């Protein structure tokens, strides 16, 4: 069963989502938004007190774009659970009264399962662009033998400045951008979902690890957005609130200034294509001591502090919806 004292397989996370929907039928719904390359369901937890057809402003949260970043789905499910518990108990219901919440804890389920069964450090999806049933194998013998040439980096595959800086056309690369923009069904499903709801989604948050940063667009190149200062204000307040919980420090700024430029990322798509003004990418704990292999005892502290940052951002959104 689901806990936040250890990491969990996808089946456990899905069973937990199902139990939320049956325990809180007036609050939680599990939406099916597509299928992964290997046929796993792509799911979104909808937390909402709206009546049918009521169009409320919304907040999007996703995790697990990169398979090995286990703290991301763990933190995202922690936050979903807190939000649901809080609302169900009638505490601070304001942020669920005002906003519908769309939460996808595992954008890349094939990759995630692969990190449990075969390779803990796998990052990408598990797709092959050339072998459909009955079609001849187009990959070289080298690629067929060395499975490293499978998969696309989903965070280089979004349809914004696709194929630009910090991406690779080499299938064997960890930052392979894929054969075309949104070639990955996992990416296409997220894009379609947020594009269809682009008028209601006010805040887009995507969770990665690691390096303790709160990144804002643009990620693709070192050019600042026209509303850079507003995005920085919201992020700085969130980082301050985060730090107040356990003293964890997050750096705030655009990826090219703090890390590196990388095109085709999800928050760039949210802002650049869907037109969602406030789009951010969290790089969760830690700063390299454990890196991707963050001990499970850090899930709850990470969840607690990140939840406060998200509450701060959601409160700031009330001014804007
Ligand atoms: O490289 C990435 O995709 C992210 N770092 S990670 O270590 N989690 O892989 C940073 C993405 C920053 N955002 C954009 N470049 N859009
Ligand atoms: Zn990542």
What number is the ipTM of this complex? Answer: 0.99
- Nearest C-alpha neighbor of 160 from the set 217, 104, 203: 217
Domain 10-126+191-317: which CATH class?
alpha beta
Given this model, what pLDDT does residue 146 score? Answer: 67
User: Quick check: CB of 262 below 6 Å from ligand 1?
Assistant: yes
Cis amide linkage into residue 283, ω under 30° from 0 = no
**CA 296 to centroid of ligand 1, rounded, Å:** 22
Question: What's the pTM?
Answer: 0.96
Given this model, what pLDDT does residue 41 score? Answer: 98
C-beta of residue 213 within 8 angstroms of C-beta of residue 251:
yes
Q: What is the DSSP string of 141-183?
A: HHHHHSGGG----GGG-SSSSTT-TT-BS-TTSTTB--SSTT-
**CA 294 to centroid of ligand 1, rounded, Å:** 18
Given this model, what pLDDT does residue 140 score? Answer: 73
C-beta of residue 102 within 8 angstroms of C-beta of residue 59:
yes
Q: What angle do CA 197, 201, 207 make, to 5 degrees?
A: 110
Atom of ligand 1 nearest to the CA of 262: 15
Given this model, what pLDDT does residue 272 score? Answer: 98
C-beta of residue 208 within 8 angstroms of C-beta of residue 302:
no
C-beta of residue 185 within 8 angstroms of C-beta of residue 216:
no
C-beta of residue 262 within 8 angstroms of C-beta of residue 255:
yes
Of 161, 184, 283, 308, the active-site residue reads: 283
N- to C-terminal Cα separation, the chain: 37
**CA 25 to centroid of ligand 2, rounded, Å:** 33
User: Quick check: CB of 157 below 6 Å from ligand 1?
Assistant: no
**Spans of all domains in the chain:** 10-126+191-317
**C-alpha dihedral, 6 to 8 to 12 to 18, nearest 10°:** 80
pLDDT along the chain (321 residues), means of 10: 97 98 98 98 96 89 98 99 97 95 98 98 91 60 72 98 98 97 98 98 98 98 97 98 98 98 98 98 98 98 98 95 65
List CB contacts of 225: < 8 A, sequence separation 6 or more.
216, 217, 218, 231, 271
């Amino acid at each position: 069963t689901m806990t936040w004292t250890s990491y969990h397989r996808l089946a456990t996370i899905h069973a937990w989502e199902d139990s939320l929907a049956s325990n809180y039928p007036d609050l939680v719904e599990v939406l099916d938004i597509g299928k992964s390359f290997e046929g796993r369901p792509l799911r979104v937890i909808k937390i909402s007190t709206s009546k049918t057809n009521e169009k409320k402003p919304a907040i999007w949260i996703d995790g697990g774009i990169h398979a090995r970043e286990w703290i991301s789905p763990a933190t995202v499910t922690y936050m979903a659970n807190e939000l649901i518990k809080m609302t169900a108990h009638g505490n601070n219901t304001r942020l669920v009264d005002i906003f519908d919440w769309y939460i996808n804890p595992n954008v890349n389920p094939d990759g995630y399962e692969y990190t449990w069964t075969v390779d803990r450090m796998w990052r990408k999806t598990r797709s092959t662009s050339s072998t459909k049933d009955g079609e001849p194998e187009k990959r070289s013998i080298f690629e067929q033998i060395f499975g490293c040439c499978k998969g696309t980096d989903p965070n280089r595959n979004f349809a914004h400045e696709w194929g630009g800086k910090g991406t690779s056309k080499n299938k064997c690369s960890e930052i392979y951008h894929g054969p075309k923009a949104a070639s990955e069904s996992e990416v296409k499903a997220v894009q379609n979902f947020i594009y269809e709801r682009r008028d209601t989604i006010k805040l887009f948050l995507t969770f990665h690890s690691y390096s303790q940063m709160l990144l804002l667009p643009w990620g693709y190149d070192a050019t600042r957005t026209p509303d850079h200062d507003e995005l920085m204000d919201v992020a700085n307040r969130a980082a301050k609130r985060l730090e107040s919980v356990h003293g964890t420090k997050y750096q705030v700024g655009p990826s090219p200034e703090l890390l590196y430029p990388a095109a085709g990322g999800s928050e760039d798509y949210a802002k650049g294509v869907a037109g969602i003004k406030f789009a951010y990418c969290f790089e969760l704990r830690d700063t390299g001591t454990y890196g991707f292999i963050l001990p499970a005892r850090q899930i709850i502290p990470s969840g607690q502090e990140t939840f406060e940052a998200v509450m701060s951002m959601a409160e700031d959104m009330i001014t804007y919806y």
